[in-house]
Structure 1
């Protein structure tokens, strides 16, 4: 008996369900089709066995095969059977062709099927990584999303973007905004509905497969207009296996920054975990569970300007300018404020500033506090075979994060006024799959996702009223902490004014999908309902803010010593938010094998996202016709403030043509809608009558004092700034397209060259509807509606365009060497790169009347990006390998922005303004 080993092409394509699909042709030695041949797929880890018959063209198809290793066999009368082995990847569709020898020989034919990356059945662009690569590649903080940066067309976020703060990570795929990505965990929604970051960050050791679909994916996917990121968790196998690990990183090999001095700040990070999986009931019930814990301590360095020791005692001689008595306008003798004139509360405020530890009057304090980050997560998954045709999967995942930031975001350079961030995530899955023969599989999924975030000021347990003996601060424990103090010439002291934040978003998900194999057609149709409930509190200026500008004495420190603020701001203390929305989606996808060398992907998806409403109607909008503010649901306004957008039909089309066995030409086009972010609608909570700010000024008859800076009978309500939505706010959408050539280079690997592009339409943006013309003098007198300040008008008027050349090479563990390389040459243009501001780009127009002048390179544009990830065995050391990731990228655009309203147009949309300086000459 002879053994004939044959390598058959196995080409990958993707499906939304967590199982995979297998299809191919059965032919005789001359290549003619063998109808009614029987093909069998038998799992190596369970008793699952399925059979399919070929049609008149010799074509067969299996749908929704559970992932794992399989033995395949094809047989037909008068022909020898052929066997094969292969692995069905999660969400992958494989192609496996059989050529049956004529019966009569004495040889046994065994086919070793080798997976190939050439994609002969789909037009989608993206990346899939198996468990070997996921676990072996070095990832900073072991964040799974960094794997997405290995795909061509994917860029990292800009500095300090909303989604990449506080240890999270974000990305831009195919020219889309960072908030346009959809994160799935075993097909379950894993999104923070407020800003569209992921909720749970599963341990890489608990991931079976990682997949990102970035361009021209099928109609099975929706919700977001950018990339679809699906993480599949591991399941237990036929035998028990376990693992444990510990990772340590410290400061020894880290570079220091300019302000660190001789000694690097403290840095140590420990990450440990363990997991195990195996059968609970042989061939029926399987369990996998994992635990991961991370602890980090990282020193930070910042310079700040604080009052000197003499200045704290009233000796202001070092200022170099006279300090005046505000009551007589005569300068203090020797620039010294008598101790009897110093406010009793001034030393308490000055105690908030640490004493100087550096020389000079400016940048005289170097702070090196320690950031503390503790994360814990665990997950348990149970797979149970109810019947030979029925599979039930249950999974529950939990994660929490306890982060102390000594320097809160956009707050102060002084330690002592940071914040505590407490995140929790819950994600649960119930999935039932029923097989009705080899060509019909029905899948029902129920999912639950809940993300909570609580951000508290560092001194949230300090009752300042009691500590200082005052009565002008909030008395509720949730509002404890220090007010903010702005003293001219020094760093700001006091707790963050935009805290506390306490919010929760819960998503209930129910979907059903039917997969059908009908001849050369692979049909998928399904529906999904997602109900989102968001509750929270975001408080602004609840503790108040006091400014000492020097208007009274000529020096801010002088005003403080006398206890005479020049400005006070305080708001109402309670601003609850309750938002509700539901999404309905329906899709039909037909993957048609029109010819053995031609596959067509035809799809249509419909999405309807109900406008966000508040059950208590606590939001309000601006009514331009009346020039007034109206609560939602009144004065002709809808309960959401916008009209429903119901015409969201999204066609998808793709083809894959295989002119030769080792070549494939692919192309695709699709339209993709984005459900948006809750933070867009949350702005409506900061309008009258539900939110008001009072401003306190000193007058000739009555000065403000530290003893009572917020008098009940004083203060004014200035023309309020408003946030409003365009009634015609439409659903944002992107068009994706690509043309791609792939070639399999023997056993070396697969090379790919693609042109990929996208165009964004109806992207959300904000501008000032009440912007005055540039001119000197009072702002409000020049505004179109003088009774209001800025009217931030949120509309779907932004656009984007993206074009790229993408090249990649993929070598999968051939002779134990793995290489994944990618290069992207691209250009991204838009007029708003995100809804929320970032450090280099406030994403607010300089001139709200001339938005077309904002069109420029996207803030995340990077013309060139190259990556290479490799796994190489170390000679002579068994089970030891060398792995690494190399990255080279062009810089992102830099836009200088003035931190003040230079145009005198009330331009505060970028928090500190978004005026840009004039370019006088080539820098």
Structure 2
């Protein structure tokens, strides 16, 4: 291992972050009319929009490769004395490897032959399964909420699991399950810089969206067997590039308005009209030259303003209960009873004292987005760009009753700069720096009533939970905050040597996260029914003792290296050979607040110190292998396949961080049965329950593999049929690690009697994060795509898939505080079944059709008919 690391350090010339995964590559072979290869041909590739040009010369085999080209429209010129110059125009997509076959004709005069087209339809260079969401698709398809990440769902093998969504900071954003992997296992890149949020989705705002669609040029969704350029995750990769300026001025403006004028009343609406709803989303973008062929700008702004009216029903004490006619009322409960509004919508259960209260609430949302980018061609060999993004949002959500709400606040900022240098015609170096600040807070928004507080020193009442009634007192998890700061450096070197395109690079990303978890800091009482509530006899109290350390500061660093060789063994066969190594430093809490149960069965108290016995990521060696075969030799049919090892690098560290605030002795929760009211007699946190992570944690990893056939059909249509699969091991999961000792029944089944002794008598239940999860995925994927021509484009796909795992719920095993445990903690295999996100059949189609009309006419021209169709089966 030491020798391997030394070799990587030598080859990766400078430290840094991600690879050349936002640029495109052109490679090809030049021949004469007799199909003999032509060495010494001058190749000049020029960006039509910016004038950027790159040159190369064909080698002895007539071959050339030009990497590191920004996505866009290009002109490729091939010239050799005695031959007519060949000029071919094509469009390059993000992370595309375009293969060209050029033919030069003998001529006695200066002559050129121009072919106008798009990029090759069939990928004969890469084994990765991927698809591009083009600029036209982004700008023209109907997009509810204008969250461009949703367009990734148009690709085969991608679906979204929404059945267990919540609005906590851990669950916001579009959750993409890609080829059988958890949504937390994906990587999101914006201009090559990390834009993955704390929850594992793309960075989202408090408004639960990702704005800026007008500033996105295109993005690639990579789903299987991707190269060693990509790291961080074992699911898919979403690589986005932003728009830059060109030599022509361009701009756009948009506005969308929705309201309740055409809405229908639902069953719960009490008035004659539905609750009011107003949503306005508008913005503009502009770009162009500052200095022709040298300096360009592009920027965009967007504003979202929404007031969402919602009819809500709550269960409250009815008039008989409020008056004391049904049950006696303890005088101490009178001020708490007054907090419940009087029923206004009938009875839910008159005998139990439960009435219905219906009301309309307003959920206001405000969001402001800005992005600016500068591109500068310094010289023929040097270029750079810089981009700044700001996104701030505020949203208020009801917490059950009119006077109780939660204010969500987010402020996200990103800065990225990239410098490219052509060292020689065969060597390109790309250096990148990025910094991001992600702030998310949830704050209680309700009256300050110190006299009703459950815990001394608190100025607000805690949560009252009464069986049969709606809870009052806001949300027990607030206040909370998660503030993350990223500093990322990268350097990537590509070297063209004969038939080899060699790439190497390194990544260093430092992350510092400040997290406040104040669950039950105000306390929470539970009552068995309305009678016990009015009598003031709760069954349980849960609260945090004063002085508990609720904030955690966790710095850690990701370091990665890779080697990649795209070896064109023959004109028709390309091998993709890669190796990646990356690891995290163990994220020890900055103030020494880490504690663990190192031996679940025998420890009688928590041990202060690092959360892991050893760093589980130090063995993260990830080989990648793939092939692409031009089956017919004309670039119209490709047989491709690949496999690779991928690591969910930060899985254990997020889990450790997610439960760190609940571990004694620095933070603990007191649970008291049959307590006094309104304040418990004692708030000493006993050892009745605990939360911890496996001290001997392992690294989650996955294997992905695919084989597919791609064919170009008539009419600019490409069809693909393929198999994609994956297996994942050591997945993070939650178990109850200190169950009672079971009684074995005569039939061999286990019975867990209440009150029986536990495995470790020093503790009650132990919420334990460990590596008990594994998964398996198989799929048949069919797709067809027609590029835009003759006024329309069309894309469709069908996925027949089966996803299996032994995890109870993907939302609960990673960074959430909630836990869904297996049926039997002694036998995890009995939970092997269809995954929560298993969707057997998914059909997707989308189309853009420019309707016939008078081009240039304000009235008759510019009309379109566009749409998205999704048909899918349900989840288990």
On whether the aligned pair clears a TM of 0.5, the verdict is: yes
| DSSP-derived class of the 2:865 partner | strand
Q: Which has the larger radius of gyration?
A: 1
The alpha-carbon distance between structure 1 residues 567 and 830, as it changes in their structure 2 partners (threshold 3 A), is closer
Structure 2 residue aligned with 1:383: 375
Write the distance in 1 (CA, Å) between the matches of 2:231 and 2:453.
Answer: 53
Shift of 1:565: 3.8
The answer on 1:28 being equivalent to 2:40 is no
Query: Partner residue of 1:620?
Result: 595
- On the 8 A contact 2:185/2:234 being kept in 1, the answer is yes
Tell me the CA shift for residue 197 of structure 1: 4.5
Q: 2:185 aligns with which of 146, 158, 180?
A: 180
Matches within 5 A, 1:211-226: 211-226=220-235
SS of structure 1 residue aligned to 2:320: helix
Q: Superposition RMSD on alpha carbons, in Å? A: 2.5
Contact 1:158 1:859 in 2 (8 A): no
Q: Sort the Cα spacing of 1:546 and 1:224 in 2 relative to 1 into closer, same or farther, 3 A.
A: same
Going from structure 1 to structure 2, the CA distance change for 1:164 and 1:589 (only over 3 Å counts) comes to farther
Name the counterpart of 1:305: 315
Aligned to 2:426: 439
Q: In 2 relative to 1, CA 353–151 (structure 1 residues): closer, same or farther, beyond 3 Å?
A: same
1:372 matched to which residue of 2? Answer: 364
Instruction: Judge conservation of contact 2:741–2:752 (CA < 8 Å) in 1.
Output: no
Indicate the residue corresponding to 1:490 in structure 2.
469
732-741 or 86-95, which deviates more? 86-95
Deviations 1:513-568 (A, max 9, x none): 0011111111110000111111121112111122333xxxxxx4344444444433
Among 550, 567, 573, which residue is 2:540 paired with? 567
2:393 is matched with which residue: 401, 418, 429?
Answer: 401
Task: Give matches, 1:20-169, under 5 Å.
Answer: 20-104=24-108, 108-161=112-165, 168-169=173-174
Q: How does 1:545-560 map to 2 (within 5 A)?
A: 545-549=524-528, 556-560=529-533
How many positions carry a matched residue from both structures?
A: 825
Q: Can you list the C-alpha shifts for 1:591-640, whole angstroms capped at 9, x where unaligned?
A: 1111111111111111112222112221211132642233332xxxx454
Task: Label 1:55 to 1:548 Cα distance change in 2 as closer, same or farther (>3 A).
Answer: same
Deviation of the 1:471 alpha carbon: 6.7
Greater Cα shift, 598-607 or 42-51: 42-51
Q: Tell me the secondary structure at the aligned position of residue 378 of structure 2.
A: strand
Partners of 1:545 and 1:715 in 2: CA distance = 12
Alpha-carbon distance in 2 for matches of 1:389, 1:349: 73
Which residue of 280, 283, 286 corresponds with 2:293? 283
Which of 618, 622, 626 in structure 2 is aligned with 1:646? Answer: 618
Residue 502 to residue 657, structure 1, CA distance change in 2 (3 Å): same
Within 2, Cα distance between the matches of 1:736 and 1:568?
48
Cα deviation for residue 843 of structure 1 reads: 4.1
Q: In structure 2, what is the equivalent of residue 332 of structure 1? A: none
Kindly indicate whether residue 715 of structure 2 is the aligned counterpart of residue 757 of structure 1: no
Secondary structure at the residue paired with 2:76? Answer: strand
Inter-CA distance 254–858: structure 2 relative to 1 (3 Å threshold): farther
Shift of 1:697: 5.0
Shift of 1:128: 0.7
Cα deviation digits, residues 247-272 of structure 1 (max 9, x gap): 12334566765534664333332110
Partner of 1:844: 821
User: Of the candidates 643, 653, 662, which is equivalent to residue 686 of structure 1?
Assistant: 662
Give secondary structure in 2 for the equivalent of 1:861.
coil
Is this contact kept in 2: 1:760–1:799, CA < 8 A? yes
Q: Distance in 2 between matches of 1:705 and 1:656?
A: 71
With normalisation by structure 1, the TM-score equals 0.85
* Residue of structure 1 in register with 2:274 after alignment: 264
Supply the distance in 2 between the matched residues of 1:231 and 1:588 (Cα, whole angstroms): 23
Deviations 1:758-790 (A, max 9, x none): 001111112111101457998555211122111
Mark the CA change 1:833 to 1:520 in structure 2 (over 3 Å): closer, same or farther: farther
Instruction: Evaluate the alpha carbon distance shift between residue 114 and residue 221 of structure 1 in structure 2; reply closer, same or farther with a 3 A threshold.
Output: same
Q: How far, CA to CA, are the matches of 2:166 and 2:556 in structure 1?
A: 23
Correspondence 1:418-567 to 2 at 5 A: 418-459=405-446, 462-465=447-450, 469=451, 472-475=454-457, 480-549=459-528, 556-567=529-540
Distance 1:121 1:777 in 2: 58
Instruction: Confirm or deny: 8 A CA contact 1:303 1:367 kept in the other structure.
Output: yes
1:710 — aligned with what? Answer: 680
In structure 2, the residue corresponding to 1:617 is in which secondary structure? coil
Determine the structure 2 residue equivalent to 1:356.
Answer: 343
Q: What is the CA–CA distance in structure 2 between the aligned matches of 1:117 and 1:255, rounded to whole Å?
A: 47
Structure 1 position 301, deviation (Å): 3.5
Q: Of 845, 865, 872, which aligns to 1:882? A: 865
Offset of 1:373 from its aligned partner?
1.8
Per-residue CA deviation, residues 100-138 of structure 1 (Å, 9 max, x unaligned), is: 111137864222133233111111112212211111111
Structure 1 residues 162 and 471: CA distance shift in structure 2, 3 A: closer
Q: Are the structure 2 counterparts of residues 884 and 480 from structure 1 closer, same or farther at C-alpha, using a change threshold of 3 Å?
A: farther
Q: 2:773 pairs with 798, 818, 833, which one?
A: 798
Q: Does 1:392 align with 2:384?
A: yes
Aligned equivalents of 1:15 and 1:430: distance in 2?
14
Q: Which residue of 2 aligns with 1:771?
A: 739
CA 1:834–1:426 in 2, change beyond 3 Å: closer, same or farther?
Answer: farther
Match of residue 643 from structure 2: 669
Distance 1:715 1:291, change over 3 A: closer
Q: Residues 63 and 438 of structure 1 are in contact (CA less than 8 Å); yes or no, is this contact kept in structure 2?
A: no
On the 8 A contact 1:39/1:73 being kept in 2, the answer is yes
Q: Distance in 2 between matches of 1:224 and 1:777?
A: 39
CA distance in 2, matches of 1:664, 1:639: 49
Q: Which residue of 2 aligns with 1:913?
A: none
Q: What's the offset of the Cα at 1:347?
A: 3.3
Say which SS state the counterpart of residue 436 (structure 1) adopts: strand
1:451 aligns to what SS in structure 2?
Answer: strand
Contact preservation (8 Å) 2:225, 2:642: yes
1:205 is matched with which residue? 214
C-alpha deviation, 1:863, in angstroms: 0.6
Q: Distance in 1 between matches of 2:737 and 2:85?
A: 74
CA contact (8 A) 1:194 1:679 kept: no
Whether contact under 8 Å (1:696, 1:716) holds in the other structure is no
> Counterparts of 1:254 and 1:25 in 2: how far apart (Å)?
60
- Offset from partner CA, 1:372-423 (integer Å, 9 cap, x none): 222211111111122221111111101112111114xxxxx54443311111
Cα distance, 1:824 vs. partner?
Answer: 0.3
Change (3 A) 1:289 1:148: same
Worse overlay, 641-650 or 215-224: 641-650
Shift of 1:245: 0.6
- Aligned to 2:439, what secondary structure does the other structure show? strand
Bigger drift between 787-796 and 425-434 goes to 787-796
Q: Conserved in 1, the CA contact under 8 Å of 2:545 and 2:683?
A: no
Equivalents in 1 of 2:445, 2:520: separation in Å?
Answer: 16
TM-score normalised by length of structure 2: 0.90
